[in-house]
Structure 1
């Protein structure tokens, strides 16, 4: 692994014992710590460790394998509840970065389809299917059609009611505002619904946004979506398309999500971040945020500002 990575450790409180354990994992994998600095953020602390790591060693054949082994060891260490992300410097040092987020249970705290289902009396059924889909146990498009079908007949007015119920994740506004102020590009892509995402994207000033369209006829939901479903392949495609349109290389991209539908997007990014995610997503993510603070992503991407 070449010395092109930085380790960022974060927790509500980073204890000396936690940091000692993290340093031990890093040095145990042949990395030396070139420099170290502490940062204070709303709701959490971070320590940034600049790494110099060997290009070969440990009997592993590729840089990707060595990086995966280091990340796995840091996760297993779980020192004092601290998380540690090994972030490519191509992202941290980029003049312009591209950040793309899932919406439900990532940018916002809720699952919109469950809020809609509460109006239809089908919340329990929909929640069960949603959870299975996010664990990767069901085909997303098939599960979406099944869940949306339970909404047939609801008046269009419920969309405005649900929109008023939306709660942004802690740090979401800070993440978008700071990233935008620093000249970076921020996008959201959702397996949810454009009728909810579009006004939210306008409110936050997102550069790009895409979600499914609920079909509405004569003022009522039909129980169908219009057009192709925004699935995991679509999310990855939008990362590539929007970052290219913004003139930003994939090496300077970060994708944040919580469910199986986000895995392709996370894999396509320079840094794929699991945000309070399902176990199957955490297991393959480049980094994890297991605090209810979305703006931990600011520390990972090295986005500064007031």
Structure 2
């Protein structure tokens, strides 16, 4: 039984030479059904290519998984001038899909805790801990408590200033609107803070969202987190919970993130996408986007951009 895949190439600008390079690598592993077909996008270029994996007598799912791993490894070894993803066609053509994303440096351009820390004069200290946590060198919950402790004594009014400073990633609203236009749900789960995330989530019309709560007493940040920390296990658990509630199987889910705290979520989804991520995250994800356009996620998911 043959297995069908879609190769996606996306970059600020695609060239025929780059597309030929990608097709040549993939062609070593099976039938490439040319030609490349352009995909409408705004601010970047994208194209898709139908690919058929060779059939074998072994179970089709086993063959497809082995083939996909081999192709992805071969593409990673090439110094290609474009981003490339190879996705099972059944995933891109699923009738119902579910998208879940990280927030800081994914849905939005900034790390919120660093914006807050700037008001306390602790930006450098907090940034150093954030980077170590994102690289997986520190336990996320411990690192979060260390960083939040630096915020003790700040007036709650600082959060209003931080909300005003937050900027969505390029194409974020377009991505959410595209998924919603096709009847799919969109969720975010964040190691950041609900006091900043909630108005953003409401503005975008997100279906689900979750973040940590900063403890506030008498109009001042206490330097503590209220309740359980949203860590990597929580993120994966919320993906399972929300996808099940939406009636969408995990293999029709797309997860997007940039740090070690997102790894379990990326592994749980049908396709985990690393967005301008650390090398370790890119290596673990099924696809990577190394450009500022978050709406490239829609290209990988087979969701038309308006």
> Which TM bucket (shorter chain)?
over 0.9
Q: Distance in 2 between matches of 1:120 and 1:97?
A: 42
The alpha carbon displacement at 1:64 in A equals: 3.0
Name the SS of the counterpart of 1:47 in structure 2.
strand
- Contact kept? 1:2, 1:54, Cα under 8 Å: yes
Give the deviation of 1:66 after TM superposition.
Answer: 2.9
- Normalising by structure 2, report the TM-score: 0.95
- Is the CA contact 1:105–1:111 (under 8 Å) kept in the aligned structure 2? yes
Structure-2 separation of matches of 1:190 and 1:171? 19
C-alpha contact (below 8 Å) 1:88/1:270 kept by paired residues: no
State the Cα distance separating 1:128 from its structure 2 match.
0.4
- State how 1:1-306 maps to structure 2 within 5 Å: 2-33=2-33, 36-56=36-56, 63-79=64-80, 81-306=81-306
Are 2:32 and 2:49, in contact at CA under 8 Å, matched by a contact in 1? no
Q: TM-score, normalised by structure 1?
A: 0.95
Please give the alpha-carbon distance, in whole angstroms, between the structure 1 residues aligned to 2:175 and 2:251: 20
* 1:7-66: CA deviation from partner (whole Å, max 9, x where unpaired): 111111111111111011111122432663112311111111111102459xxx864343
Cα pair distance change 1:62/1:227, threshold 3 Å: farther
Q: What is the aligned-residue RMSD (CA, Å)?
A: 1.6
Per-residue CA distance 1:182-202 (angstroms, 9 max, x = gap): 111000000000001111100
Contact 1:172 1:294 in 2 (8 A): yes
- Aligned equivalents of 1:6 and 1:54: distance in 2? 14
Q: Which runs of 4+ in 1 moved over 4 A?
A: none
State the secondary structure of the residue aligned to 1:143: helix
Query: Which secondary structure does the structure 1 equivalent of 2:40 belong to?
Result: strand
Residue 2 to residue 242, structure 1, CA distance change in 2 (3 Å): farther
Q: SS of the counterpart of 1:48?
A: strand
Residue 303 of structure 2 aligns to a residue whose secondary structure is: coil
Distance 2:138 2:124 in 1: 17
SS at match of 1:294: coil
For structure 2, the 5+ residue unaligned runs are none
Change (3 A) 1:283 1:56: farther
Alpha-carbon distance between aligned partners in 2 of 1:164 and 1:188, rounded to the nearest angstrom: 20
- Report the Cα distance in structure 1 between the residues aligned to 2:39 and 2:227, rounded to whole angstroms: 45
